[in-house]
Amino acid sequence: MLSKTIQEALNKQVKIEAQSSQVYLAMASWAEIQPGIDNITAFFYRHSDEERMHMLKLIHFINERGGFAVIPQLEAPTLTFPSIKHAFKELLEHEMMVSESINNLVDIALQEKDYASYNFLQWYVAEQIEEEALARTLNDKLELIGDDKGGMYLFDKDILTVSVGGGE
């Protein structure tokens, strides 16, 4: 059985994962109407789907442990971006915020001596390491590319092979 404290904290994370999915969905829709970045567009859509999986995983965990997963109201995401670089910068900042939130949640699980939740959350800890590293790599590449159109063409080509992270 989940304590009230851990249940509330897990539900807060449900909202953050749902919000992440919404944020990347908005990036995908914006990218889709920009010329020549089909693979970047697909990357954002994939990322949005992955975040939905992260949210669902939490929802099932909460409900299976005798809690109640609350489907949250979300905030409006950023809809348009001055450039692709700006969108990826926002993605990195967002992931950093998510990592902080997961770390906080792990702390709460320990304080509550809820070792089942602690164990469950390790998957998210590992996932955040991967997601942050990926976001940093992509931002570094974009920094190198600058305004070079050929570089952007290659970036779009390369991102096709990038794996966004597991939903399992």
By the criterion CB under 6 A, which residues form the site for ligand OFO? 17, 20, 51, 54, 95, 98, 127, 131
Contact 91, 40 (CB under 8 A): no
Whole-angstrom distance, CA of residue 151 vs CA of residue 167 = 30
The least CB distance from residue 95 to ligand OFO, in Å, is 5
Residues 6+ apart with CB under 8 A from 96: 132
Nearer to ligand OFO, 131 or 152 (CB): 131
The least CB distance from residue 64 to ligand OFO, in Å, is 19
Contact 128, 11 (CB under 8 A): no
Nearer to ligand OFO, 41 or 52 (CB): 52
Nearer to ligand OFO, 2 or 98 (CB): 98
The least CB distance from residue 51 to ligand OFO, in Å, is 5
The least CB distance from residue 162 to ligand OFO, in Å, is 14
Nearer to ligand OFO, 51 or 90 (CB): 51
Whole-angstrom distance, CA of residue 106 vs CA of residue 40 = 32
The least CB distance from residue 36 to ligand OFO, in Å, is 26
Nearer to ligand OFO, 51 or 156 (CB): 51
Residue 132 to residues 8, 12, 92, 129, Cα–Cα distance (Å): 25, 20, 7, 5
The stretches of 35-83 forming alpha helices (DSSP H) are 38-64
